[in-house]
Amino acid sequence: MKIGFIGLGNMGGPMAANLARAGHAVTGFDLAAPMPEGVTPADSAEAAAEGAEVVITMLPNGDILRKVAAQVIPAMPPGAVLCDCSTVDVESTRAVAHQAEAAGVGALDAPVSGGVGGAAAGTLTFMVGGSDDAFATVQPLFEIMGQKAVHCGAPGAGQAAKICNNMILGVTMIATCEAFALADKLGLDRQKMFDVVSTSSGYSWSMNAYCPAPGVGPQSPADNGYTPGFAAELMLKDLRLSQIAAEAADADTPMGARATELYTQFVEAEDGNGRDFSAMLPRFEGRGRG
């Protein structure tokens, strides 16, 4: 398949490389990131999209997505599919989908879960919004770049699934870190805490698969000085998107709102920027109740 890939940073680069390694003809464009092995460089986003059956984007925010879409959609042949794997606001996603459909181009919003490690290993999960036909076209590529792709519904449904999932993740990671900090002050051994919670009603992905306590549970960023697997500033971005969506939908999300406040403080006023989102644990360790 002929593929255009725009946005070749920490996530997009490995994804494009995996597609090229699988034998697809991938043409890439990025303003700054290096070109992955096997990917043919283009001089512009439009050039990467010309003649492509699928154009994949991995971009920082909704404004940039709208600008790139305005450039590439006119360059795409009718029947091609624009597949955006960025995590952006639902409104931008739906606006781009309408623009693509008006031009005879399919559109998918397909944000991912799995982080940089999953991008490199080809084990991402894709949450996908868009038409059945567009999903069927891109599904073979999802199978190369990831281990699972869930078609969640109409345009915007993929973004909705991603921000709801990550709102849960942000809230549960904070609760997990709070609980470890409390256990420390109550004199409870961290390993014993893990042994109990990981096999009882406190079970969660944050505890069992990504434990924020060094030396406890499976290997995680906590065992590497909280070098990011999923950076705190990216969690903050997703939490803010969840609250933008909640405001637009008139949804009451008090835990999501409080998690957003805590990650804002951690990233912007403390030492959270550039650290893994599970570094909330040392934050709580050093704080009292006041």
Cβ–Cβ < 8 Å for 128, 151: yes
- b/e code 57-69 from CB counts within 10 Å (16+ = b): bbbeebebbbebb
* Catalytic choice (67, 148, 162, 192): 162
Count helices and strands in the chain by DSSP H and E runs: 12, 9
- β-strand pairing of 106-109 with 124-130: antiparallel
Distances (CA, A) of 72 to 54, 99, 100: 11, 11, 10
**Is 162 designated active site?**
yes
**Cβ-based neighbours of 272, under 8 Å, separated by 6 or more:** 232, 233, 263, 266, 279, 280, 283
Give CA 164 to chain center in angstroms: 12
Residues designated as active site: 162
